[in-house]
Amino acid sequence: MYITVPDDRIVAANRARPGAENEEASILYRDEQGELHKIDLAVCVVNYCKERGIDPAGVTCVGERDCIEGYFEFWTSGMKTRIVFPKRYFWESKRHRYQRFRSIQRLLNEMGYGTLDLT
pLDDT of 19: 57
Q: Is the pLDDT of residue 23 over 80?
A: no
CA distances from 83 to 8, 57, 92 (A): 9, 26, 18
* Residue 75 amino acid letter: W
What pTM was estimated for this model as a whole?
Answer: 0.88
Q: Which of 50, 69, 86 is nearest to 61 (CA)?
A: 50
- Residues 28-76 have pLDDT tens digits of 999 999 999 999 999 999 999 998 999 988 899 999 999 988 999 999 9
For the chain, which residues make up each domain, given as ranges? 2-117
Tell me the chain's radius of gyration from C-alpha atoms.
14
What letter would DSSP give residue 97?
Answer: H
